[in-house]
Amino acid sequence: MARPAWHHEALELGLVAAGAIPGALLRWQLETLGHSWVGGLRGAAESDLLANLLGSLLIGVLFGIRPPRPRLLLLGAIGFCGSLTTFSSWMLELARAWSHGQGPAALSVLVVSLLGGVLAFGLGYGAIRLGTRR
Protein backbone atom coordinates (compact mmCIF):
# COMPACT_ATOMS: atom_id res chain seq x y z
CA MET A 1 0.00 0.00 0.00
CA ALA A 2 1.36 3.40 -1.00
CA ARG A 3 1.92 6.02 1.64
CA PRO A 4 -0.19 9.17 1.42
CA ALA A 5 1.35 12.29 -0.12
CA TRP A 6 1.35 14.11 3.22
CA HIS A 7 3.69 11.45 4.62
CA HIS A 8 6.37 12.39 2.07
CA GLU A 9 5.88 16.11 2.75
CA ALA A 10 6.06 15.55 6.51
CA LEU A 11 9.34 13.67 6.08
CA GLU A 12 10.78 16.52 3.99
CA LEU A 13 9.61 19.11 6.51
CA GLY A 14 11.21 17.10 9.31
CA LEU A 15 14.52 16.95 7.44
CA VAL A 16 14.58 20.71 6.86
CA ALA A 17 13.68 21.40 10.50
CA ALA A 18 16.25 18.91 11.80
CA GLY A 19 18.96 20.67 9.80
CA ALA A 20 17.77 24.19 10.59
CA ILE A 21 18.09 23.87 14.36
CA PRO A 22 21.83 23.13 14.51
CA GLY A 23 22.48 25.61 11.69
CA ALA A 24 20.75 28.38 13.62
CA LEU A 25 22.59 27.45 16.82
CA LEU A 26 25.94 27.57 15.03
CA ARG A 27 25.01 30.94 13.54
CA TRP A 28 24.18 32.26 17.01
CA GLN A 29 27.48 30.94 18.40
CA LEU A 30 29.45 32.56 15.58
CA GLU A 31 27.69 35.86 16.29
CA THR A 32 28.45 35.58 20.01
CA LEU A 33 32.10 34.73 19.36
CA GLY A 34 32.42 37.54 16.82
CA HIS A 35 31.21 40.09 19.34
CA SER A 36 33.49 38.80 22.09
CA TRP A 37 36.64 38.36 19.96
CA VAL A 38 36.47 41.41 17.70
CA GLY A 39 33.84 43.51 19.39
CA GLY A 40 31.06 45.78 18.23
CA LEU A 41 29.70 46.03 14.73
CA ARG A 42 32.88 44.76 13.18
CA GLY A 43 32.56 41.47 15.04
CA ALA A 44 29.02 41.03 13.75
CA ALA A 45 30.09 41.66 10.16
CA GLU A 46 32.98 39.21 10.45
CA SER A 47 30.82 36.52 12.00
CA ASP A 48 28.27 37.00 9.19
CA LEU A 49 31.06 36.67 6.64
CA LEU A 50 32.37 33.51 8.28
CA ALA A 51 28.90 31.95 8.46
CA ASN A 52 28.15 32.77 4.83
CA LEU A 53 31.49 31.45 3.57
CA LEU A 54 31.22 28.28 5.65
CA GLY A 55 27.67 27.69 4.44
CA SER A 56 28.63 28.32 0.81
CA LEU A 57 31.49 25.83 1.09
CA LEU A 58 29.20 23.20 2.60
CA ILE A 59 26.51 23.77 -0.03
CA GLY A 60 29.17 23.25 -2.70
CA VAL A 61 30.17 19.95 -1.09
CA LEU A 62 26.57 18.77 -0.76
CA PHE A 63 25.71 19.82 -4.32
CA GLY A 64 28.75 18.00 -5.67
CA ILE A 65 27.87 14.60 -4.20
CA ARG A 66 26.95 12.11 -6.92
CA PRO A 67 24.50 10.61 -7.30
CA PRO A 68 22.44 13.50 -5.94
CA ARG A 69 20.83 12.81 -2.59
CA PRO A 70 17.67 14.92 -2.30
CA ARG A 71 17.17 14.13 1.40
CA LEU A 72 20.73 15.16 2.21
CA LEU A 73 20.16 18.43 0.33
CA LEU A 74 16.98 19.05 2.33
CA LEU A 75 18.74 18.38 5.63
CA GLY A 76 22.12 19.96 4.92
CA ALA A 77 21.72 22.61 2.23
CA ILE A 78 18.21 23.91 2.85
CA GLY A 79 17.92 23.20 6.58
CA PHE A 80 21.40 23.57 8.07
CA CYS A 81 22.96 26.01 5.60
CA GLY A 82 19.72 27.91 5.13
CA SER A 83 19.64 28.85 8.80
CA LEU A 84 23.41 29.27 9.06
CA THR A 85 23.64 31.68 6.14
CA THR A 86 20.97 34.29 6.49
CA PHE A 87 20.67 37.09 3.99
CA SER A 88 18.57 39.17 6.37
CA SER A 89 21.21 39.14 9.13
CA TRP A 90 23.86 40.02 6.60
CA MET A 91 21.86 43.00 5.36
CA LEU A 92 21.09 44.12 8.92
CA GLU A 93 24.76 44.12 9.91
CA LEU A 94 25.75 45.98 6.74
CA ALA A 95 23.04 48.59 7.36
CA ARG A 96 24.17 49.02 10.98
CA ALA A 97 27.77 49.50 9.92
CA TRP A 98 26.73 51.98 7.24
CA SER A 99 24.59 53.97 9.67
CA HIS A 100 27.52 54.20 12.10
CA GLY A 101 29.78 55.79 9.51
CA GLN A 102 31.50 52.59 8.46
CA GLY A 103 30.38 52.72 4.83
CA PRO A 104 33.67 51.63 3.24
CA ALA A 105 33.95 48.68 5.64
CA ALA A 106 30.33 47.68 4.91
CA LEU A 107 30.97 47.86 1.17
CA SER A 108 34.11 45.76 1.48
CA VAL A 109 32.23 43.11 3.50
CA LEU A 110 29.55 43.06 0.79
CA VAL A 111 32.07 42.52 -2.01
CA VAL A 112 34.16 39.98 -0.09
CA SER A 113 31.01 38.08 0.92
CA LEU A 114 29.70 37.82 -2.62
CA LEU A 115 32.99 36.89 -4.25
CA GLY A 116 34.05 34.71 -1.34
CA GLY A 117 30.72 32.89 -1.32
CA VAL A 118 31.02 31.98 -4.99
CA LEU A 119 34.64 30.92 -4.48
CA ALA A 120 33.79 28.87 -1.37
CA PHE A 121 30.97 27.09 -3.22
CA GLY A 122 33.35 26.33 -6.07
CA LEU A 123 36.00 25.00 -3.70
CA GLY A 124 33.53 22.74 -1.93
CA TYR A 125 32.02 21.50 -5.17
CA GLY A 126 35.40 20.99 -6.81
CA ALA A 127 36.84 19.17 -3.80
CA ILE A 128 33.99 16.68 -3.59
CA ARG A 129 33.94 16.09 -7.35
CA LEU A 130 37.71 15.60 -7.43
CA GLY A 131 37.55 13.27 -4.44
CA THR A 132 34.81 11.11 -5.95
CA ARG A 133 36.54 10.64 -9.33
CA ARG A 134 39.07 8.27 -7.83
Question: pLDDT tens digit string along 50-81?
Answer: 999 999 999 999 999 988 899 999 999 999 99
pTM value?
A: 0.85
Q: Do 16 and 75 meet the contact criterion of CB atoms below 8 Å apart?
A: yes
Apex 123 CA angle, 17 and 83, nearest 5:
20
